[in-house]
């Protein structure tokens, strides 16, 4: 088990800001359009804000019009998924495999070549500019 998955909720409260805590530990969702990462165009990589695991490359990001940073492909093996019924209909929710942090939902309406849309909460991500 990852050292991050062993953290208590109190330990997470100390390292995440209040909004990150709600999103990443309580499966909350930030307001659409609220993330500065929606408009991030620089080349780089997107990492889990909880444990720094590399999740997405900037080349896989696209403008979905959803109001959240969206990607058509993640790094292999970095997420665990489960079915979320909170909205009254099933959606596939994804969590960082390393630390268990909630990131968002996967939809089947993305661009080719995958047809996937990883709709990610910006507060759950850390962007690193490529040197």
Catalytic residues, which ones?
119
How far is it, in rounded angstroms, from Cα 76 to Cα 5?
19
Measured CA angle at 126 (ends 69, 80), to 5 deg = 70
Q: For the chain, state the CA radius of gyration.
A: 14
The CA distance from 4 to 114, in Å, is: 30
- CA distances 13 to 20, 24, 39, 102, Å, are 9, 11, 28, 15
């Amino acid at each position: 088990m990852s050292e991050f998955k062993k953290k208590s909720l109190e330990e997470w409260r100390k390292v995440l800001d209040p909004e990150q805590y709600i999103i990443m530990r309580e499966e909350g969702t930030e307001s659409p359009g609220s993330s500065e990462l929606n408009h991030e165009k620089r080349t780089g990589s997107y990492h889990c804000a909880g444990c720094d695991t590399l999740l997405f490359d900037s080349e896989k990001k696209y403008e979905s019009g959803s109001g959240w940073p969206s990607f058509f492909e993640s790094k292999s093996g970095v997420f665990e998924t489960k079915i979320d019924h909170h909205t009254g209909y099933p959606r596939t929710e994804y969590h960082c495999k390393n630390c268990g942090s909630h990131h968002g939902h996967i939809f089947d309406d993305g661009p080719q070549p995958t047809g996937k849309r990883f709709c990610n909460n910006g507060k759950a991500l850390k962007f690193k500019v490529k040197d």
